[in-house]
Every structure is written in C-alpha cells, then in structure tokens.
Amino acid sequence: DAGVTQSPTHLIKTRGQQVTLRCSPKSGHDTVSWYQQALGQGPQFIFQYYEEEERQRGNFPDRFSGHQFPNYSSELNVNALLLGDSALYLCASSYPRGQAWDSPLHFGNGTRLTVT
C-alpha cells in the first residue's frame, strides 16, 4: 500500500519563475493538504483540497494556488517565485470526511524547492 508520494524530490528555480509540485495521496484517502516548511521551523498550512475544491486556506498569498483531480491527486502551483519561497513543501492526505473524523494526516517526504 503506497503512502503519500510527491514529485519531484528536489527542484531549483530562479526568481520570478513558476513551479508546479505534484502529490498522490495514500490509497483510500480523498482529502489533500499542502504545507510549507522553512528551514528550522514547523510546517505551515497552505491549503486543503476536498472534492476538487479548495476548502481551507492558510495565510499565503494568491501566488500559491492548487488543484485536485478526480483521482484525488493534487498539484501546488507557485507563481512569481521569491527567494523566500525556498522551503520543503509537504503534501498530506487523510481519510474521507465523515468516516473517521479524528483521522490523522499522513505526510509525504516533500519536495525541496530552492529559489535562486
């Protein structure tokens, strides 16, 4: 049973460019959340997708956008990259809502984005 998978594992981009990160949730999960983790800090919530719609959003600018596909996989897009966007981007998935309402998040190992 595959866990949460993310691609690519590492990425280097230049300021002003755009980037797309991808995530496949754990089998049986339909809710996907994205987190940003700067060096030395805890993960910060970006947004959550369920039924192909953004359901919750953290304190991140509109440059950060996402998408969820019918197979529950998800993408995180960041436009107009800044040096401060350099971080580990984590995807997490969880069980369908209403079936296990205290179910934990299961995380992938992230995409390390470096903006130069």
Partner 1 sequence: DAKTTQPPSMDCAEGRAANLPCNHSTISGNEYVYWYRQIHSQGPQYIIHGLKNNETNEMASLIITEDRKSSTLILPHATLRDTAVYYCIGRFYGQNFVFGPGTRLSVLP
Q: Which residue number, 11 or 107, has a Cβ lying nearer to partner 1?
A: 107
Among 19, 26, 33, 64, binds partner 1 (CB under 8 A): 33
Burial of 45 (0-12, 13-18, 19+ CB in 10 A): middle
Token pair of 86 as six digits: 């350099």
> Is 113 a residue that touches partner 1 (CB under 8 A)?
no
| Residue bearing tokens 């019918």 | 70
Among 1, 2, 39, 42, binds partner 1 (CB under 8 A): 42
Among 45, 65, 75, 79, binds partner 1 (CB under 8 A): 45
Spatial distance between the Cα atoms of 116 and 82, rounded to a whole number of angstroms: 8
